[in-house]
Each structure stands twice: as structure tokens, then as C-alpha cells.
Amino acid sequence: MSTTSVDLPSHGGHGDAGHIDDPHHQHHFTTMEQQFDTAKLGMWLFLATEILLFGGLFVGFGMMQGRYPREFVEAHEHLVRWQGALNTVVLLFSSFTMVMAVQSAKNNKKDKTVFFLFLTIICACIFLVVKYFEYSHKFEEGWLPGKFYSAKGDSIPGSHGYATFFAFYFMMTGLHGIHILAGIGLLSWILMRAKRGEFSNAYYTPVDLVGLYWHIVDLIWIYLFPLYYLIQ
């Protein structure tokens, strides 16, 4: 099935539950529509768990910010604002390319799907490269988490607030980075399947679901960016 458009056979309406020809049809669903809607619901439930998982870190960060207001403000100045802003722009653009990829898959535009997925992966890689530069700078200066914090020149020496700030910085951007990496993996898998012509307007569920995941990764960064780079 490598053509760019697919002619749907007579659709699996609820009269012919046993006769759906789509090779992706799972037997416990009556129609492809039911299957797609269920998959989407499952993905949204998973995204809710991601909101709560990251949210826990946001709460911890917020509480520690209340604990160490001066140290947190001072420590955050070590973060380079333009790098954070660049990463924000890159991720927003990648969300755009992602939604364009989903749209292309839905409209049977195989080449555009592949193109937009590819762009999304490129954006993700740019994000990670910028992150790499940020992290290596931190390592050099000794702005490290917890007991590894070894920077000098803080205005309240001996306070743990700086170490705690950077612990949270690395935890949150690190967990986010792991999700970006996982996203690159998923996007690459979808890219390969798109190249094989697996997606059409009859079946583009995986692209849609990976898209939803990718948007959540972007959404988390939308909150991370101001809290870490813009607070003063």
C-alpha cells in the first residue's frame, strides 16, 4: 500500500461489525471510528498522568522557591535567557510542524507527512543541542544539583538554596529532555511508517497520538520557560 491516496471500501458501519476490511481493525471494536476515539481517549488519559507527574515537580519547585526566595532569584540569573527563548521558539515551531504532519496524514499527503515529521525531529534535535550547551556551561561553573554544587561567589554562602535550585533545574529540564528523546524515538518510528505509506485518511491514529504527546512536551516547556528563565 504505497500509493498516496487510498480508496476506502464501503465503510464498516454498525451493520457490518464483522466485515471491516481495514488491516488495523482490532476485533473488540465494532467500528474504526470507535477504535480511533478510544485510542485518543487513552492518549489523553496518559497525558493527564504526565501533567500530574511533571506537576509534582512544579509543586516541589514552588515550595522550595518559597523556602529560598533570594537564593532562587540569584541562581536563576545563571540561566541564559536567550537560550531558553530560542528553545521555546524551536518547540513551538515543532508543534506547528507536528500538527501539519497530522493534517497531511489525514489528507493522504504522504510526502508532506514525511516532510513535516522530519522537520519536527530536526527541531527536537536543535532543542537538545541547545540544552547540551546549557548543561555543559553549568557543569563548568559548578552549578550542579545537591551535594555536587561547587560554585563560588554566591551572596549567601553556605545556604543550600542554590544547590536545591539547580537540583530542580536539572530534574525538571532533565525529565523534560528524556521526554524529548522518547519523542524523537516515536517520531522516527512514525516517520518510517509514513514513508511506507501506512497512513491515510482511513487510518492516521498513530500520527495523531504521537502528535498529542509531542504537544504536551511543548506545553510543559511553555510553563518551564518562564519559571526558570524569566522570574526575577
Site for another protein in 164-203 (CB under 8 A): 164, 167-168, 171, 200-203
Of these, 88, 113, 120, 173, which contacts another protein (CB under 8 A)? 88
Query: Of 66, 187, 75, 45, whose CA–CA distance to 124 is shortest?
Result: 187
Query: Of 141, 146, 142, 139, whose CA–CA distance to 160 is shortest?
Result: 146
- C-beta of residue 123 within 8 angstroms of C-beta of residue 186: no
Closer to another protein by Cβ: residue 14 or 140: 14
Distance from C-alpha of 144 to C-alpha of 4, rounded to nearest angstrom? 51
- For residue 47, the minimal CB distance to another protein (Å) is 7
Stretch that binds another protein, among 99-107, 120-128, 130-138, 182-190 (CB under 8 A): 99-107
- C-beta of residue 43 within 8 angstroms of C-beta of residue 193: no
Give residues 44-73 in contact with another protein (rule: CB under 8 A): 44-60, 62-64, 66-68
Cell of 145: 544539583
Give residues 138-167 in contact with another protein (rule: CB under 8 A): 142, 144-150, 157-161, 163-164, 167
Question: DSSP string of 153-205?
Answer: --SSTT-SHHHHHHHHHHHHHHHHHHHHHHHHHHHHHHHHHHHTT--BTTB-H
Binding mask 9-38 for another protein (x = CB under 8 A): -xxxxx--x----x---xxxxxxxxx-xxx
- For residue 52, the minimal CB distance to another protein (Å) is 4
Q: Should residue 83 be labelled a site residue for another protein when binding is judged by CB under 8 A?
A: no
Q: Should residue 225 be labelled a site residue for another protein when binding is judged by CB under 8 A?
A: yes
